[in-house]
Every structure is written in structure tokens, then in C-alpha cells.
Amino acid sequence: MSDEQYMREALKQARYAFAEEEIPIGAVVVLDRQIIARAYNQTEKLRDVTAHAEMLALTAAANHVGNKYLSDCTLYVTVEPCVMCAGATAWAQLRRVVYGADEPKFGYRRHGNLLHPKAEVVTGVLGAECGEIMQEFFARKRK
């Protein structure tokens, strides 16, 4: 599968979040071209400010591989990770982080590079689609 195909899987997760009135961010973790974890934001459902899609996906991936280090894995996430999630990817030693839409307000890049120093970062994959679902969500919230 390509980066775009994996991002489409993350977008499916974002749509689940949208349907549950969660901020529509989805994530998948890939190892050896296989999706080993899928997650979406569940901060409202779980009443947990740390229940971001990335955090839930990293936990599921670590459980899948039986190790806290995910150095051979790639995280696909629909929106630029926040500081907390970027830090978690650094601690997990992810090889790659691929995201769709930029997050100028809360994205990690406002604070410098918080990812693992060896991590490859790919931005803008299906960025328009990833941004549109966020815009639609917040437009509905404002009504």
C-alpha cells in the first residue's frame, strides 16, 4: 500500500470519531506493510484528555508487537500531532510519522522538532481531505 492508501485508512478512523462527535482525527500504525493498530480520538467518550488517536494507536501497536519501542513502524495520522503525541512518538522511537493536515494552533511544529531525531516526517498526504473533515466538524459545532 502507498502512503495515500494508509492515510485513507486513518481517514476512516477520523470518520468514526466524527460520527461519535469527537474531534475527527484518526491514526493507523504500520509495520512491514501491515496495519497493526487503528484508533480515533476518544477524549469525550473516555473522559480522558490523553485519549488522542495517536496515543491510542501507539498503545495498541506496542501491545501488538510486545514492546514499547516501535522503531520499525510508521504512524499515519490525519492531522499534525500535538506536543503530547509528538513526544510519545519520540519515546516510541517511530521510524516515520506521516500526517495529512497541518495544525497551526496546536501542532507540535510550533515548538520545534519534538519527534525522534531519526524519524522521517512526511506532511500533506491527503491534506485537503484531512483538513475538510476538521473544518466540517468545527463548522457544525459553531451552529
Instruction: Write the pLDDT tens digit of every residue in 19-47.
Output: 999 999 999 999 999 999 999 999 999 99
Q: Name the DSSP letter for residue 109.
A: G
pTM for the model stands at: 0.95
Distance between CA atoms of residues 90 and 86, nearest Å: 6
Element housing 96 (H / E): strand 96-101
Task: Report whether pLDDT(143) > 90.
Answer: no
Q: What is the mean pLDDT of the chain?
A: 95
Average of per-residue pLDDT across 46-55? 98
Confidence of residue 104 (pLDDT cuts 50, 70, 90): confident
Average of per-residue pLDDT across 97-105? 93
Which residues have CB under 8 Å from 50's CB, separation 6+?
Answer: 43, 84
| In contact, 62 and 39? CB cutoff 8 Å | no
Q: Is 54 a catalytic residue?
A: yes
Distance between CA atoms of residues 96 and 110, nearest Å: 19
Q: Is residue 116 marked as binding?
A: no
Q: In the chain, what are the domains? A: 3-142 (3.40.140.10)
Residue of 4, 9, 20, 54 marked active site: 54
Element housing 99 (H / E): strand 96-101
Instruction: Write the pLDDT tens digit of every residue in 65-86.
Output: 999 999 999 999 999 999 999 9
Task: Report whether pLDDT(140) > 90.
Answer: no
Residue 26, pLDDT score: 98
